[in-house]
């Protein structure tokens, strides 16, 4: 059994659908493996889902973290986030992480814990980014860094969710630009 192939198949299936609606049997059939092979490799369905989320974080979510840690300054970072949410071809069907976050009550304990870890790491990355903008004098003084970080993350999530529902990427870009303009107003 090729574990990477199974992860790719499962990631694709979870990404295209609600992860909780994709059965282990379906993944085994799509990957051309037996259920015992899958369980030997991943331990359980929860172990597979957790491994898929880890792989997704490494392959896709790392791009958002790279943007936030890129040191490009406020306007360029916001532009890069807008571009990611509205134009990155991987986001055309939405974000697997956001799907898992919304439906985490339907996931196993390992995967649920990993969703919460990634969510906390994302919040920390948004906070660090906004603190660096504040230190550079680019962030409006009255804006709470914590609230701004949560708002920024949720606006990106909303834009990606809108892409998955078929909204026009140009309109998403425009609306996200408007939503994020709170960070650049004097």
| Digit-coded pLDDT (tens) for 115-127 | 999 999 999 999 9
Q: Is residue 81 part of a domain?
A: yes
Q: Based on the structure, what is the number of domains in the chain? A: 1
Rg (CA), the chain: 18
DSSP codes joined into one string, 2-44: -HHHHHHHHHHHHHHS-GGGS-HHHHHHHHT--HHHHHHHHSS
Q: Which two tokens stand for residue 45?
A: 């369905």
User: Residue 165 has what pLDDT?
Assistant: 92
pLDDT of residue 186 exceeding 80, the answer is no
C-alpha dihedral over 62, 133, 124, 147, to 10 degrees?
A: -120
Domain ranges, residue 139:
52-183
Q: Is residue 138 part of a domain?
A: yes
Cα separation, 118 vs 96, in Å, equals 12
Answer yes or no: are the C-beta atoms of 149 and 68 closer than 8 Å: no
What is the average pLDDT across 122-146? 93
Closest CA to 159 of 176, 178, 139, 136: 176
**CATH at residue 147:** 1.10.357.10
User: Residue 19 has what pLDDT?
Assistant: 87
Q: Is residue 44 part of a domain?
A: no
Q: Is residue 153 part of a domain?
A: yes
Interhelix angle 145-164/169-180, nearest 10 degrees: 170
Q: Is residue 41 part of a domain?
A: no
Q: How far is CA 128 from the centre of its chain?
A: 18
Cα separation, 7 vs 53, in Å, equals 9
Between 56 and 19, residue with greater pLDDT: 56
Q: Is residue 35 part of a domain?
A: no
Q: Is residue 30 part of a domain?
A: no
Q: Is residue 160 part of a domain?
A: yes
Q: Which two tokens stand for residue 44?
A: 């359980």
| Digit-coded pLDDT (tens) for 16-51 | 888 888 999 999 999 999 999 999 999 999 999 999
């Amino acid at each position: 059994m090729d574990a990477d192939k199974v992860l790719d198949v499962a990631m694709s299936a979870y990404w295209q659908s609600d992860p909780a609606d994709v059965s282990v049997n379906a993944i085994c059939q799509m990957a051309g493996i037996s259920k015992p092979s899958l369980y030997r490799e991943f331990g359980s369905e929860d172990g597979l889902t957790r491994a898929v989320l880890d792989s997704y974080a490494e392959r896709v979510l790392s791009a958002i973290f790279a943007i936030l840690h890129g040191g490009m300054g406020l306007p360029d970072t916001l532009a890069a986030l807008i571009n990611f949410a509205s134009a990155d071809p991987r986001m055309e069907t939405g974000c697997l992480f956001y799907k898992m976050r919304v439906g985490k009550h339907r996931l196993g304990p390992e995967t649920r814990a990993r969703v919460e870890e990634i969510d906390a790491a994302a919040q920390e990355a948004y906070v660090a980014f906004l603190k660096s903008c504040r230190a550079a004098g680019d962030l409006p003084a009255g804006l709470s860094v914590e609230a701004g970080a949560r708002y920024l993350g949720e606006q990106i999530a909303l834009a990606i969710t809108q892409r998955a529902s078929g909204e026009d990427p140009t309109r998403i870009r425009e609306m996200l630009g408007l939503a994020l303009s709170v960070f650049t107003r004097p």
